[in-house]
Structure 1
């Protein structure tokens, strides 16, 4: 059985002595890591780390006959640290949950802090001027009323003079 020959890439490192390896087995991982870093920088800008990127809160979206209801889990958030914007059918909720000061040494952490962002495009037209929001017990609840569709009406034809 014949195995395909592997060619050494230009610039790949050979093991000292040149006996067992013709190239560094970790070079492919280094190359992949570098390409992923360039992709991340092109997406979020240079110097941004995953810790600085906003996280997405858990949310439920339901629909009633006359509105869309969105509920986001934001434990520890204050209403003055949350921004809600609606543009056409796109709803954007962003803000920051600030870390509180603690005494002693943190031994375990799973609660999210820092910047968050939630975006959704609602399936139908809405009345942006009538959106309501309330923050209670760490849950942000928004009610986005649906736009009333134009109703068909009968147009009467007048007789000409």
Structure 2
């Protein structure tokens, strides 16, 4: 009885992109036990950034707690802002017996696509209370060009 019903339930699950029955959940788990894990962190990057645009200026704010400005490199490559750096483990704390370490250490690199060409020579960066703020004026000469339709 259920054997004939399962294919139709599975089709509904695939159409709605969510499980319609416990059998779907089990089938998904056994076919790929850890398949959902990469999707959990798909849109998460380090450092966390906010990108905004107002009055022809793009502002990027990146959270970099515990990092010195000298340990961060900022470049613009192919209309992409690239943040590279390293968060170092404090030497004086190495003698402690840790029960848990959840803070991340090591090198990082984050690419942030920009909404258009920017004037790289006028870019400015400021570091305040663990937040890196980068202001990038948009290049008006390189703004989107309107294409007229013939005919």
* Fold shared, TM-score > 0.5 on shorter chain: yes
Q: TM-score, normalised by structure 1?
A: 0.56
Structure 1 counterpart of 2:112: 120
Aligned pair 1:78/2:76, yes or no?
A: no
Instruction: State how many pairs are aligned.
Output: 107
Q: TM-score, normalised by structure 2?
A: 0.60
Map of 1:32-111 to 2, 5 A cutoff? 56-101=46-91, 102=93, 103-111=95-103
Structure 2 counterpart of 1:41: none
Pair 111,80 (structure 1): closer, same or farther in 2 beyond 3 Å: same
Distance 1:150 1:133 in 2: 22
Whether the aligned pair in 2 keeps the contact of 1:72 and 1:141 (CA below 8 Å) is: yes
Which protein is bigger by CA-based radius of gyration? 1
Offset at residue 96 of structure 1 (A): 0.2
Pair 68,113 (structure 1): closer, same or farther in 2 beyond 3 Å: same
SS across alignment from 2:140:
coil
Distance 2:78 2:57 in 1: 15
Distance 1:93 1:137 in 2: 18
Distance 2:142 2:60 in 1: 25
Gaps of 5+ in 2: 1-31, 33-44, 144-151
Distance 1:68 1:132 in 2: 11
**1:91-141 C-alpha deviation (Å, 9 max, x unpaired):** 101010101021321122222211111102211111011111111111111
4+ residue runs over 4 A deviation: none
Gaps of 5+ in 1: 1-31, 33-54, 152-161
